[in-house]
Chains A and B, each alone.
Chain A
Amino acid sequence: MRRLHEGGRIDRSQRIEFTFDSKALTGYRGDTLASALLANGIGLVGRSFKYHRPRGIYSAGPEEPNALVTMGTAGRREPNLPATTVELADGLVAESQNRWPSLKFDIQSVNGLFAPFLSAGFYYKTFMGPTRRAWMFYEHFIRNAAGLGRAGEEPDPDRYEVRNLFADVAVIGAGPAGLSAALAAGEAGARVVIVEQDFLAGGTLLSKPADGQASAWLSGTLARLASMPNVSVMTRTTVFGVYDSNVLGLVERHGSGTIDPEIGSARQMVALLRARTIVYATGSIERPLTFDNNDRPGIMLASAARIYLNRFAVLAGTRVVVATDNDSAYPSAFDLAAAGVEINIVDSRAEPMPVLLEQSRRLGIAVRRKSLISNASGGQAVRAVTVSEPGGTVTLECDLVVVSGGWSPTVHLTSHLCERPVYREDIDAFVPGKLRAGHFAAGAVTGGFITAGAIEEGRRVGTEAATFCGATNFAQPSFSLNLAEINAGNNDSRHAHLFGAAKDGSPSRRPEHPLSRRSAERWFGNRKAGLPKDKAFIDLQMDVTVGDIVLAHREGYESVEHLKRYTTLGMGTDQGKTSNFRALSAMAGLRGMTVPEIGTTTFRPPYTPVAVGALAGRSQRHHYKPFRRTPMHDWHVANGAQMLETGVWMRPWFYFASGRNVDEAYLAEMRMVREAAGLMDISTLGKIDVQGPDAAEFLDRVYVNAFSKLPIGRARYGVMLRDDGIVFDDGTTTRLGERHFFMTTSTAKGPDVLSRLEFLLDTAWPDLRVSVTSVTDEWAAMSVAGPKSRDILAAAFTNLDVSNKALPHMGQLEANYRNRPLRIIRLSFSGERAYEIYAGASVGKEVWCRLIEAGVPFGLKPYGVEALGALRVEKGHVAGPEIDGRTTLDDLGLSRIAGKRNGYVGAVLGRREALSDPARPRLVGLQCVEPGKRLSGGAILFRPGEPMQGHGLGRITSVTYSPTLDAWVGLGLFARNAAEEGSDMVATHPIKGETVRARIVSPMFLDSKGERLHG
């Protein structure tokens, strides 16, 4: 292995320092990690998944099954990166994986010795004893042995972005077909995005000598595309998935040591590209050949060897055996020969094309026909191969074996929308199935393996795609192609396969048996035979051998999916890009069926693995989801509130002014409200403006109780049900005018209620002339509650008459504050005299401060949600813990407000038989009757003496210590037929280890006559 002194697409003026397994190495700008390793003479780069066999570099692209490395450290540690896709960068640190203590000497390679017992699925048949939990013991070791690279446990310090893109034509792949499609569509005036995963555009053109005509066409086309404002060429960008409605998932990466301004400071950026049409120009992937020890370092795909030679100027070996069953390996052989290495071609066919034989002879290459490699020798690097040919077997010494088993079109993306690929006999491969309207394919992915053909096809579909989008400008291309030249004229021997293939329009390969003829005889000839000692690999990454497939078949795991799942074939990070087809045809052979008969597995996104963080983008940490803040938020923070997340809202939980912790504070805040007054920020309540000629009728239908009789200037508590009769939400609605109402909902349900109201108006009752609009953000809302609340209100708004006469309980008045709206509604959640003050959000904080100031002489202070919740429990008001989506109006003791009404949402199904089952729990009050003990929310209720098991007769939903009663009290749901007021129950909370006697009482613990509210 060595770097050539000239040629290739690397920049020899820019040396790059990097390390592999702590060894300092150098490469050039334009290298991949793989090409740089080869240039440094490093052939052994990893250990295999199961048997820990030494592995080298097998390919030159994202299909790489072997050369996986880990890059970075700590939070930046990233395992399992194919060295073939890593762009070499200064200071790059890579290490090999799945080996200990070292790559050259790996303890676990002993697994190879136990190979006979570690056949496919062996673990399903053992590890089942001696005890039932024995598996957990064995599993520990299996887990540690598995898993390739190690991920970091520290947070990823890097930044990710997600952006939205739009285009008329999205071209996937910047090879000859894609480039020419983009050119045609661009010239037609369409908005084009062409996406290439590599850091260079060109695709297969890059594997041809950098001085050929193909390269001329490439540079010309790229220049032309760069000059078009309506075309964007995105390199280093992978289309990882194609989703419904032509949405493509892209992941963009930075160049080596450069910052792409489109991506900015992010490490990677996911782009969601919404395209009107898609052109698949994804090319094809070469297939391996199967023979014993076909995984030895130094064995690689023929196309890869050619890429390393022509693109990276790296000669991967000096004594080369080329094994093939088709023409496409010959150009690799010819280019290698031109580089002056000794070459043997082992061709399984009887009659390769004469022109190839002719050219081979001219270059002094020995071609062995009807020959197959049966075995490779060498441990950490291939030393020789055994070739069986008509005359017998010969051994060829070598340091590089390049193989070609034909080509598999890269149909992955075309099948993400579940259009299954279809088999084409003539090329023995799967090509895209029927594509949706507006989807096109061109080039090798369609099974045409000729550069010139791909360029022509690309131009055609590019034009079709543009037309599909309504693009009109089809002027003759200003930049014309010389197809004859690209077609690599007869005189250009290096493109003989193109020229030759062009004869019959498809690569002239007649598929041999999917496995080598020898293995066919050996394994399929005699089904009863045992499996061989040596390993012939089908899936190099998952260590799946021919033997495993034979065994799967023998045990009846013969459907393609069973094969995959039983042997783990194709489950690796490469998703079996090089192995799937081989395995299919092997199983087909075993079952005596054709490949299309046994079918193919589904290709799933992503095409290549995508970092979870890239998909999350900036929605991380405190940016994960936006907060909602009330107009008084800053005041709370500045005045010692402990803030609390409730859904998207931030609310004050309690104020440190009231106590050192929540338990102290909420009691102090309760006392304050009961004895003087407190101020609470209730801006988070959902608020909906309801108006129109039919508004009252509308409310009569959505609430269980009637609103049409509600006088103007009055408020009413209302409950809404779901269609199934379960309680949906509660709140108050105030009548502002004949046709105008102001509705409030719970904080949590606001958006759902509005959407439901709109649903009913748009779909069920379009005849009702009603407008509903969220005004949640319009109003800052605060509740001043307590005996002193009226005095405080009067002091704060001296111009307003808030006397009991002017503003009785459930009364409302409209005013304004500095030309901003001000609305006061006398409502109480706490049971005390209380007023809800709604002020224009822009002056909310001002009004709040004004109330605080006016309240000082009366002992007014703010209180938080903890105290609010406790106050409502004392008053017996239901809330979230009781309205849990399973309770009915009657469960909550609210059936009286509906009375005998009908015609409201949920009325009919609310009367289902089981909803009035006497054993159904109903709201009760509970009071702790054991001194020194407390009640706990979530405790389960039993009759005294009853065994405490099962689900009990009910549960405690909310509790608080009641300063008023000097006792722990709570609300609960308890079986109707057992709920006698005054009877004692046992409340048990096994988790807290509490069991306490509680008496069933009225839920209204204080002021049952409501005297505090009135007057």
Chain B
Amino acid sequence: MLRIECPNCGPRDHDEFRYGGDASVVRPVHDDADFEAWYRYVFVRENPAGPHREYWQHVMGCRQWLVVGRDTRNHEIAAVRSAREPRA
């Protein structure tokens, strides 16, 4: 069980959230026609054994999408911010 500190709702069990995958990939603008950019955004993953920036949505709570900094080796969470806040 992970406990994720939702910036809006406080610490909650991770099963209140919906996982959204790697948050370090950059989504091309909606009308970008560059195949390579979309291919990399959708498929290529760094998949680090270590610090990982990832999306979680607090679906049982405020429904906000969050960016969580978590170590994939020990699951320790370093930071959580709202996805709407500019990247640190």
Contacts and interface: CB of A to CB of B under 8 A. Distances in A.
Do any CB atoms of chain A lie under 8 A from CB atoms of chain B in the complex?
yes
Interface in B3-50: 3, 11, 13, 18, 20, 23, 27-28, 30-35, 38-39, 41-42
Nearest to A911: B35
Contact of A759 (B13, B20, B39): B20
A755 B59 CA distance: 8
Contacts of B57: 755, 758-759, 762
A763 B65 contact: yes
A245 B2 contact: yes
Nearest to B63: A758
Interface in A417-450: 417-418, 436
Interface string A902-915: 11110011010000
Contacts of A908: 28, 32-35, 38
A923 interface: no
Given A724-B42, A759-B55, A762-B84, A244 B75 contact: yes
Nearest to A436: B76
Nearest to B67: A763
Interface string B71-87: 00011110000111000
A209 B13 CA distance: 45
A445 B77 CA distance: 28
A122 interface: no
A765 B65 CA distance: 13
A244 B1 contact: yes
A274 B1 CA distance: 10
B1 A764 contact: no
A911 to B, nearest CB: 8
Contacts of B83: 762-763
Interface string A720-732: 0001100000000
Contacts of B35: 908-909, 911
Nearest to B43: A724
A905 B64 CA distance: 21
Given A244-B2, A759-B57, A762-B84, A903 B30 contact: yes
Contacts of B20: 759, 763
B3 A759 contact: no
A274 B3 contact: yes
Contacts of A243: 1
A618 interface: no
A909 B33 contact: no
Given A723-B42, A903-B30, A763 B55 contact: yes
A766 interface: yes
Given A245-B3, A274-B3, A759 B65 contact: yes
Nearest to B41: A723
A902 B33 contact: yes
A247 interface: yes
Interface residues of B, number: 33
A362 B25 CA distance: 78
A243 B3 CA distance: 10
A272 interface: yes
Nearest to A762: B65
Contacts of B75: 244-245
A701 interface: yes
Given A274-B3, A908-B35, A908-B38, A765 B55 contact: no
Contacts of A418: 74
A359 interface: no
Interface string A749-776: 0010001001100111110000000000
Given A244-B1, A244-B75, A759-B57, A903 B31 contact: yes
A759 B65 CA distance: 6
A764 B27 contact: yes
A248 to B, nearest CB: 10
A557 to B, nearest CB: 29
B31 to A, nearest CB: 3
A246 interface: yes
Interface string B49-65: 00000010101000111
Secondary structure at the A interface, as helix, strand, loop or mixed, is: mixed
Given A244-B75, A762-B83, A909-B39, A902 B1 contact: no
Nearest to A752: B18
Which of A272, A417, A762, A903 has the most C-beta atoms of chain B within 10 angstroms of its own C-beta?
A762
Contacts of A245: 1-3, 75, 77
A500 B50 CA distance: 48
A765 B42 CA distance: 17
Given A244-B1, A246-B3, A762 B30 contact: no
Contacts of A902: 31, 33
Contacts of B77: 245
Contacts of A903: 30-31
Given A244-B1, A417-B74, A755-B18, A762 B31 contact: no
A276 B57 CA distance: 24
A763 B3 contact: no
A966 B8 CA distance: 60
B18 to A, nearest CB: 6
Contact of B64 (A274, A701, A723, A762): A762
Nearest to B66: A762
Interface in A326-372: none
Given A274-B3, A723-B41, A755-B18, A765 B74 contact: no
Nearest to A701: B30
Contact of A272 (B1, B38, B64, B74): B1
Interface string A265-285: 000000010100000000000
A245 B11 CA distance: 10
Given A755-B59, A758-B57, A909 B42 contact: yes
Nearest to B31: A903
Contacts of B1: 243-245, 247, 272
Contacts of A765: 30
Contacts of B3: 244-247, 274
A245 B16 CA distance: 15
Contacts of A911: 35
A759 B63 CA distance: 10
A244 B55 CA distance: 19
A770 to B, nearest CB: 13
B29 to A, nearest CB: 8
A243 B77 CA distance: 14
* Most central of B32, B63, B77 by chain A CB within 10 Å: B63
Contacts of B27: 763-764
Contacts of B23: 763
Nearest to B35: A908
A246 B76 CA distance: 11
A763 to B, nearest CB: 5
B16 to A, nearest CB: 12
A911 B28 CA distance: 16
Nearest to B27: A764
B49 to A, nearest CB: 13
A408 to B, nearest CB: 25
27 contacts: A244-B1, A244-B2, A244-B75, A245-B2, A245-B3, A247-B1, A247-B3, A417-B74, A436-B76, A701-B30, A723-B41, A723-B42, A751-B59, A755-B59, A758-B63, A759-B20, A762-B57, A762-B82, A763-B20, A763-B55, A763-B65, A764-B27, A766-B84, A903-B30, A903-B31, A908-B34, A908-B35
Interface of B: 1-3, 11, 13, 18, 20, 23, 27-28, 30-35, 38-39, 41-42, 55, 57, 59, 63-65, 74-77, 82-84
Given A247-B1, A909-B35, 20 more contacts: A245-B1, A245-B3, A245-B75, A247-B3, A272-B1, A274-B11, A755-B59, A758-B65, A762-B57, A762-B65, A763-B20, A763-B27, A763-B65, A764-B27, A905-B30, A908-B28, A908-B32, A908-B33, A908-B34, A909-B38
Interface of A: 243-247, 272, 274, 417-418, 436, 701, 723-724, 751, 755, 758-759, 762-766, 902-905, 908-909, 911
Q: Lowest 5 CB-CB distances: which A-B pairs, in order? A: A903-B31, A245-B3, A762-B65, A247-B1, A908-B38
